[in-house]
Amino acid sequence: MNLELKTYPCSVCGSAESRKLYDVKGFYIVQCAVCGFVFVNPRIPDSDLYKMYSDHYFTSASEGYGYKDYELTSNLRIKTFEKWISDIEPYLSKTRGAVLDVGCASGYFLELMRTGGWEVEAIELDKDMIAKVKEKNIPVSERPFEEFTSSKKYKLITMFDVLEHIPDLKSAFAKFHDLLDEDGIVALITPDFSSAQRKLFGKKWFQYKPQEHIQYFTPETLSRAIKPYGLQVIHTSASGQYADTGFLLDRLSRYNFKLLRLIAGAAAGLFGLKNKFWYLDTGSLFAVIKKK
């Protein structure tokens, strides 16, 4: 994808002053000189980002962004969503109501929530996934979250690996406040710039995908960013996902850890681990947000 990049101010405080941290795949990861927020700058223009997400995003890894084949590991994704639901449950309203999943992909999370008695609704931009969600009779909006409107108030809004993609954070945070019921929550998972994994791998951290991951939070910067919108963080913890040996080996290959890939592949064969799976830390942040 050859696009003319555009320079943007910090999405949190609006400052145009920043310092460069890393050069990753021809993009700069920078840190705001005023508020400390980390983001990509310059980056792909907003209008082109939305086009990228709408056109085979979940099977486009050969283009340098998106997923290789999202559905190939559907069993692991469902197990991950089951785990995330158990993490969210302590903060949910005891009264069932409406759930909005932003960036729902093929809707596995919402199917699980519907089975639990919740009224489910989706936002998705990818045309292929929109078709799958409609086949499951889940109402789906094809507009970006920042443009989404509804007369409903939601008990739960989820953003799983989505917040890092959103260019207009101020509109998104204001939308959280407008759409949440008084006892509703936002549950999100996003790369954690303060994670041990990020510190260990440096510029090789696999969450650095600068075409699409354009915003990088820590628990502290997230709390500061949402505060002006009448929101507060009530919980943060590390998060991960279920992965099998094949997935791990593929990731090591994709991110050019050649020696580690050879060692891991040999170990998997030697110890019979090819069909095993585990819940692994991905250097991600799980956060729960509510109105003040």
Q: Is the pLDDT of residue 268 over 70?
A: no
- Write down the pLDDT at residue 245: 74
200 or 107, which is more confident: 107
Comparing 160 with 273, which gets the higher pLDDT?
Answer: 160
Taking the C-alpha atoms of residue 156 and residue 179, their distance in angstroms, rounded to an integer, is 9
Residues near 54 by beta carbon (within 8 Å), at least 6 away in sequence: 125, 126, 127
pTM beyond 0.85, yes or no: yes
Contacting residues for 69 by C-beta, under 8 A, at least 6 apart? 58, 59, 61
Cα 179 vs. chain centroid, distance in angstroms?
A: 19
91 within 8 A of 44, measured Cβ to Cβ: no
Give the distance from CA 28 to its chain's centroid: 20
The domains found in the chain, sorted by start residue, are 18-291 (3.40.50.150)
pLDDT, tens only, 4-52: 899 999 999 999 999 999 999 999 999 999 999 999 999 999 989 999 9
**Residues forming beta bridges with residue 284, ordered by sequence position:** 191, 239
Percent helix, strand and coil across the chain, each rounded to 5? 40, 30, 35
The contacts of residue 214 (CB under 8 Å, 6+ apart) are 39, 40, 43, 44, 49, 164, 165, 167
Q: What is the pLDDT of residues 94-150, one digit of tens each?
A: 999 999 999 999 999 999 999 999 999 999 999 999 999 999 999 999 999 999 999
